[in-house]
Structure 1
């Protein structure tokens, strides 16, 4: 067997996550006692709120959590996610439209696997999170980057999207608040993009993982709230990692129309089965419990945000 056939060409072409690579380097330097502040991974440095940890601790003592559960997630958690989605994304969904995943990253991966056929194009507003193009390529799709710089507040326009659209365009990736820029599309901008996608029969994968971390009174408007008809053409991706300081718990979810969720459920049944039950019990406490600690963390992030902006603006060449 020749060397180039020993391993999968598809897997061999994947680049290591730049985010995790830099994060690992930063943590190694910190372990050596070096005074390093890492801006690599989007990881809150707060402890997970106490009531969530307590719920998980109690779950560890309950034998029902030692067994396999539904691959798509605990019913109680999917009900809590449905309530959160109505509250924050303005969309009423059935728990049957929800799949609990091992972090938001798995939800992103499964979404592209479910929607794409070889050669299908995905419009990716740029700058983007490093995992997006790799997940698209793994699904045999083609990422089409559309760049929006500081001059337009890192937000793409309908005109740019239309210029990038071809007969192969299948999906638009929509991320608001953006990872990594933090840009938040206004309700009007979101509506215009949603109406454009609906007009052309284009799916939207909307990553809403940062939707609760906005500032100065800004609200992140979900594309399915701005254009309700897009609910049949949208997969929402979210999770507890950022809002609840639960990055290591590895719990996310995907929400979508029945046909897409059925396909994703079949995939997950072979890929991972159910997510860790203890983490699921913790997530139930996170979504249904006291939101006070979430607001306290958000306010602390805001103080840090304003501080770094003020300090960077003192440096010649930075704005």
Structure 2
């Protein structure tokens, strides 16, 4: 009850003086300067909570540092993750109230609270050995743009971890395929199926992952086929994706976290799923992809899409 009364007093009390500046710093750099008068209603002598919320949201964006998950590098070694941080809002509120209901100027170092990565080195060491699913498809490595896009997407997916009951989204994990992120136009036609535009080749990555996931016996939540058959997987075994359209999603219905490993080597892209030896899964039979490379026809005009087969 006393705490509620104190909170009410702090919320509605009038500051003793509307003059004076509060300087807020982060890593010894000033990130905001504020005045009491800006947070006080002109005729009600009350703290404007809406303006206060805007302030802490802006500060949180300025000081936020995302954590970095642990991963497995190209040599198979585990690279430790990094702890991030964000604004410690409750501590900041107490310090802000001390300034607001006090007098004169003030200086405040933005208080931070740690944000830990979802995946640490210890977890990876426990789920990296038991392979539960694998699939490989092949492509023309001489098509440099398409091969480059496949490599970028594979790197975005490598070392991803899907926890029990979690639903994995291909689009969310890979992100939007844009030139700014390094994706290239891949203007070709494969067996009559257009495959040009920024991010061309991404659908082969999603299709390869789909078959690895299906082979591991996991639950497919969302998967769409192309309008025509594509050559890099058996008929009906593809998974088309587009940033503003179809997605490929699956759920980890097992009792253990699952590690996704992706690897591009020459003219092949492969996915392998790993977990601990305590995992409960029921693998499915999935036909292998053909090693025959389809004929590619280059096109002069590029059609700009976020991703295509």
If the TM-score is normalised by the length of the shorter chain, which range does it land in? under 0.3
Structure number with the higher strand fraction is 2
TM-score normalised by L of structure 2? 0.24
- The structure, 1 or 2, with the larger RCO (C-alpha pairs under 8 Å, 6+ apart) is 1
TM-score, normalised to structure 1, is 0.24
Report which of the two has the higher share of helix. 1
